[in-house]
């Protein structure tokens, strides 16, 4: 039958009912708008709804996701009203596909129909469903927590209680999402499960109207209105009222969510700004500290001072227990050369501390990752996966956490700058690693600068030494030229060269024809024995030199030995050098023309010494000049000898002329003999000159009267008294 048109009176009554409903909803909404928090909103909504509908109980049930603690206390319930997974609590969407609710036992005003065995029937716009047929095959464990309640006097409170969803009609959230409401008019006449009945009886529920609250498309919970003293057929007007109140409530809760999100965003922004300011402040402080360290590094060329300053400043900056500088040896073992350590921890640098530490990884991989300019930060040595031997080494350093960054000198891996936390693990920040690397880079620059300065100083010293050597060489040459006395030349040269080389002995060794030899001059430092002198062995034999007739020195070669015990000398050679008290030496040949005359030697007695190339060259130059001096002395000696010969020849000629003149002046033979013998003996500077006369048998006699101190002894002999001397050779050979 076609619906009849409403009469004017009925239309007026309907409009009046809608107006009253709108006013009722508006009144509740205005009260809810005065709430300051979402919790207050839920409580105020429950109170206003109960007052408007004159029911026994109104509660807000917050759905508990599976796995959430079911033992939660009421004081903890507020947290469950917060958005889940970023969704708004108050987001509420009614299904556009199904706007009808579900009523259990709503067949008539008295709730007489409970549909045993019927799948469902319609009553107005409500669908009546047998509750027992709606159960899942397996009982579900979906529950909710009562987070707000308004309750009439005398009934059991539900505030803070955890209740299964099935107690409100359906077992699962999906069932509630597909229906805008669920009503139970009479629990006694509705086909309920035993568990549903147990839940409802626990809280004395006779009738209930339940409206789902959704978050987007997800189930958030229920608004449940309950009558405890009687069964009650929920009219359409009250259902619409509840749905509109839920809509208003969710809108307000959305505003709370928005305000809270805005507040949270502002708080997060402020927290981020504070964090940024703090981080900026720390970075500025670190940059200032780094700049201070860098400035101090640049102000000093003393690498030890630089290391001491840097380790101290960095340890204070990082607030760690130890900062140290580790230097590699050529085999990639190493030693700590500087550190700053907090009180209470052992030292790794000092006179009584192990100096060389071996790390098999670094030795086998020649610096490993650090040779590739990599850094390394460890939060806890016991969780990093280190080998036991590595952990044992770190325990000797007392380290629990550490950062290591490489230090280079030019392109060569020089060492490691290390920061250690000893008392506990420490997660190092990337900014801290970067800071340590910046410091290490500056130390690398300082090392390169120090090396450059060292090379410049070394070169300067070399230039100074070269100038000093040239000056000494010039002085020696000048003195050699000023003197023609070879012994004086040797003494001057050995003294000057020893002072220049700062060695213990400089000596001149002269070869004999068999290539044995003797020291003919030396300058020796105080405390060492002499090799030249009246009570010193003069001739020394060196089998190598004797067998090889001067050996390498005959070929004008030089020879420098830094340590006689590591050079590979024969034991007899070492024994000979020990007699000289030598530990290191240089030998250069001395030639007289093309003839090997001897050796100029410099000795270091108190320890090994690495002779510089310039030192060997200087000694060789001095040796050459001594050879020139020897040649000059030889030439001078020959000239002087020739001069003496010429003088003697002239003197003899003069004497001969004088004798001839006197012979011519006298006819007395005895006088002639006497004059002649006297003049000749004076000329020859000999002991006797006589005239011997042969007899016919070739015996003979001295016919000159002899005047000299041995004359008496001669004249006193029998032969002299008899005047006759016999010489068998002369007689036999006439």
Share of the chain above pLDDT 90, in %: 32
Which class in CATH covers the domain with range 666-732? alpha beta
**CA nearest 101: which of 125, 119, 123, 121?**
125
The CATH code of the domain at 18-262 is 3.30.450.40
- The whole-number pLDDT of residue 223 equals 94
Question: Above 60 in pLDDT, residue 492?
Answer: yes
Question: Above 80 in pLDDT, residue 497?
Answer: yes
- The whole-number pLDDT of residue 538 equals 64
- The whole-number pLDDT of residue 574 equals 92
Question: Above 60 in pLDDT, residue 117?
Answer: no
pLDDT (average), residues 346-356 = 79
pLDDT in tens, 142-153: 999 999 999 999
The rounded distance, in Å, linking the Cα atoms of 100 and 91 is 20
Question: Above 70 in pLDDT, residue 721?
Answer: no
| Residues 691, 673 contacting (CB under 8 angstroms) | yes
Question: Above 60 in pLDDT, residue 681?
Answer: yes
Rounded to 5°, angle at Cα 640 from 635 and 644: 150
352 vs 63: which has the higher pLDDT: 63
Question: Above 70 in pLDDT, residue 405?
Answer: yes
As separate numbers, helices (DSSP H) first and strands (DSSP E) second, the chain gives: 19, 21
715 vs 301: which has the higher pLDDT: 301
Question: Above 60 in pLDDT, residue 216?
Answer: yes
Question: Above 50 in pLDDT, residue 387?
Answer: yes
- The whole-number pLDDT of residue 507 equals 94
Torsion, CA 157, CA 162, CA 164, CA 168, rounded to 10: 30
Question: Above 90 in pLDDT, residue 65?
Answer: no
pLDDT (average), residues 692-715 = 68
- The whole-number pLDDT of residue 268 equals 83
The rounded distance, in Å, linking the Cα atoms of 155 and 59 is 13
- The whole-number pLDDT of residue 355 equals 64
Residue 189, judged by CB atoms within 10 A of its CB (0-12, 13-18, 19+), counts as: middle
Under the banding of pLDDT at 50, 70 and 90, the label for residue 424 is: very high
Question: Above 50 in pLDDT, residue 446?
Answer: yes
Residue whose tokens read 């958005």: 83
- The whole-number pLDDT of residue 78 equals 40
The rounded mean pLDDT for the chain is: 81
- The whole-number pLDDT of residue 71 equals 43
Under the banding of pLDDT at 50, 70 and 90, the label for residue 91 is: very low
The residues that bridge with 586 in the sheet, in sequence order, are: 560, 602
pLDDT in tens, 599-611: 999 999 999 999 9
- The whole-number pLDDT of residue 198 equals 95
pLDDT (average), residues 356-365 = 78
> In terms of CATH, what superfamily is 483-637?
GAF domain (3.30.450.40)
Share of the chain above pLDDT 70, in %: 84
Q: Phi and psi at residue 225, in whole multiples of 5°? A: -110, 125
Contact partners, residue 247, CB within 8 Å, separation at least 6:
92
pLDDT (average), residues 587-606 = 93
Say if 300-455 and 666-732 have the same CATH topology.
Answer: yes
pLDDT (average), residues 610-634 = 88
Task: List Cα–Cα distances, 490 to 318, 475, 495, 523, 590, in angstroms.
Answer: 67, 13, 9, 9, 12
- For the residues of 174-210, what is the DSSP string, one character each? HHHHT-S-EEES-TTTS---HHHHHHHHHTT-SEEEE
- The whole-number pLDDT of residue 119 equals 33
Task: List Cα–Cα distances, 16 to 9, 11, 20, in angstroms.
Answer: 10, 8, 6
First-to-last CA distance in the chain?
203
| pTM above threshold 0.95 | no
Question: Above 90 in pLDDT, residue 18?
Answer: no
- The whole-number pLDDT of residue 509 equals 92
**CA nearest 313: which of 417, 467, 445?**
417
Least confident of 163-177, 263-277, 376-390, 393-407: 263-277
The rounded distance, in Å, linking the Cα atoms of 401 and 320 is 10
The rounded distance, in Å, linking the Cα atoms of 393 and 388 is 9
- The whole-number pLDDT of residue 79 equals 39
pLDDT (average), residues 606-619 = 92
pLDDT (average), residues 104-124 = 38
The residues that bridge with 603 in the sheet, in sequence order, are: 505, 585
**CA nearest 39: which of 148, 182, 155?**
148
pLDDT (average), residues 325-352 = 89
**What angle do the packed helices 486-501 and 613-665 form, to 10 degrees?**
170
Question: Above 60 in pLDDT, residue 84?
Answer: no
Q: Quick check: helix, strand or coil at residue 74?
A: helix
pLDDT (average), residues 674-703 = 83
Q: Which CATH architecture has domain 300-455?
A: 2-Layer Sandwich (3.30)
- Kindly list the domain boundaries of the chain, sorted by start residue: 18-262, 300-455, 483-637, 666-732
- The whole-number pLDDT of residue 80 equals 39
Question: Above 50 in pLDDT, residue 85?
Answer: no
| Residues 609, 501 contacting (CB under 8 angstroms) | no
The rounded distance, in Å, linking the Cα atoms of 650 and 662 is 18
- The whole-number pLDDT of residue 128 equals 41
- The whole-number pLDDT of residue 560 equals 94
The rounded distance, in Å, linking the Cα atoms of 329 and 267 is 55
136 vs 458: which has the higher pLDDT: 458
Question: Above 50 in pLDDT, residue 381?
Answer: yes
pLDDT (average), residues 536-548 = 75
The rounded distance, in Å, linking the Cα atoms of 586 and 516 is 19
**CA nearest 338: which of 379, 297, 367?**
297
**CA nearest 341: which of 425, 417, 439, 421?**
421
Residue whose tokens read 């029937």: 121
The rounded distance, in Å, linking the Cα atoms of 249 and 243 is 10
The rounded distance, in Å, linking the Cα atoms of 217 and 222 is 14
Question: Above 70 in pLDDT, residue 212?
Answer: yes
């Amino acid at each position: 039958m076609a619906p009849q048109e409403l009469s004017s009176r009925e239309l007026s009554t309907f409009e009046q009912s809608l107006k009253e409903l709108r006013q009722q909803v508006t009144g509740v909404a205005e009260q809810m708008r005065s709430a300051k928090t979402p919790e207050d909103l839920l409580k105020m909504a429950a109170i206003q709804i109960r007052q408007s509908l004159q029911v026994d109980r109104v509660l807000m049930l917050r759905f508990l996701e599976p796995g959430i603690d079911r033992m939660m206390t009421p004081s903890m319930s507020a947290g469950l009203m917060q958005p889940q997974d970023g969704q708004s609590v108050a987001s509420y969407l009614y299904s556009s596909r199904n706007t009808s609710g579900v009523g259990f036992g709503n067949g008539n005003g008295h709730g007489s129909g409970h549909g045993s065995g019927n799948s469902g029937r319609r009553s107005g716009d409500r669908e009546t469903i047998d509750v027992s047929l709606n159960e899942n095959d397996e009982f579900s464990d979906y529950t909710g927590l009562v987070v707000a309640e308004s309750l009439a006097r005398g009934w059991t409170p539900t505030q803070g209680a955890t209740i299964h969803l099935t107690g409100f009609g359906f077992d699962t959230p999906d069932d509630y999402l597909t229906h805008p409401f669920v009503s139970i008019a009479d629990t006694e006449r509705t086909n309920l499960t035993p568990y549903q009945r147990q839940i409802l009886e626990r809280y004395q529920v006779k009738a209930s109207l339940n409206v789902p609250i959704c978050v987007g498309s997800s189930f958030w919970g229920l608004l449940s209105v309950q009558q405890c003293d009687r069964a009650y057929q929920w009219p359409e007007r009250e259902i619409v009222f509840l749905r509109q109140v839920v809509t208003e409530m969710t809108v307000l809760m959305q505003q709370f969510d928005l305000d809270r999100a805005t507040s949270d965003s502002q708080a997060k922004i402020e927290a981020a700004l504070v964090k940024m300011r703090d981080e900026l402040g720390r970075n500025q402080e670190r940059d200032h500290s780094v700049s201070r360290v860098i400035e101090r590094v640049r102000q000093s060329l003393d690498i030890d001072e630089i290391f001491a300053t840097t380790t101290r400043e960095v340890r204070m900056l990082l607030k760690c227990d130890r900062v140290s500088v580790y230097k590699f040896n050529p085999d990639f073992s190493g030693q700590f050369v500087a550190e700053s350590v907090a009180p209470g921890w052992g030292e790794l640098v000092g006179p009584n501390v192990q100096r060389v530490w071996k790390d098999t990884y670094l030795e086998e991989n020649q610096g490993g990752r650090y040779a590739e300019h990599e850094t390394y930060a460890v939060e806890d040595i016991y969780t990093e996966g280190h080998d036991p031997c590595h952990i044992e080494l770190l325990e000797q350093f007392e380290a629990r956490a550490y950062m290591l960054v490489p230090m280079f000198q030019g392109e060569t891996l020089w060492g490691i700058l290390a920061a250690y936390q000893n008392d506990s693990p420490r997660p190092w920040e990337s900014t801290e690693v970067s800071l340590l690397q910046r410091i290490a880079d500056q130390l690398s620059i300082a090392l390169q600068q120090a090396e450059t300065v060292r090379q410049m100083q070394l070169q300067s010293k070399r230039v100074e030494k070269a100038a000093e050597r040239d000056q000494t060489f010039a002085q020696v040459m000048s003195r050699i030229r000023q003197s023609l006395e070879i012994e004086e030349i040797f003494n001057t040269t050995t003294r000057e060269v020893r002072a220049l080389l700062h060695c213990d002995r400089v000596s001149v060794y002269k070869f004999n024809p068999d290539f044995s030899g003797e020291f003919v001059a030396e300058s020796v430092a105080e405390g060492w024995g002499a090799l030249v002198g009246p009570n010193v062995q003069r001739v020394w034999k060196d089998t190598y030199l004797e067998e090889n007739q001067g050996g390498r020195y005959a070929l004008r070669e030089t020879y420098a030995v830094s340590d006689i015990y590591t050079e590979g000398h024969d034991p007899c050679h070492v024994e000979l050098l020990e007699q000289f008290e030598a530990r290191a030496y240089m030998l250069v040949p001395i030639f007289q023309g093309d003839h090997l005359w001897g050796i100029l030697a410099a000795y270091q007695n108190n320890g090994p010494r690495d002779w510089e190339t310039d030192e060997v060259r200087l000694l060789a130059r001095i040796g050459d000049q001594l050879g020139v001096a020897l040649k000059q002395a030889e030439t001078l000696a020959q000239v002087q000898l020739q001069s003496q010969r010429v003088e003697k020849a002239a003197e003899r000629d003069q004497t001969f002329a004088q004798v001839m003149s006197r012979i011519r002046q006298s006819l007395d033979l005895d006088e002639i003999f006497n004059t002649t013998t006297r003049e000749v003996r004076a000329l020859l500077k000999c002991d006797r000159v006589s005239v011997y006369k042969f007899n016919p048998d070739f015996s003979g006699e001295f016919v000159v009267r002899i005047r000299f101190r041995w004359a008496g002894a001669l004249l006193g002999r029998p032969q002299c008294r008899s005047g006759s001397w016999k010489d068998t050779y002369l007689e036999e050979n006439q």
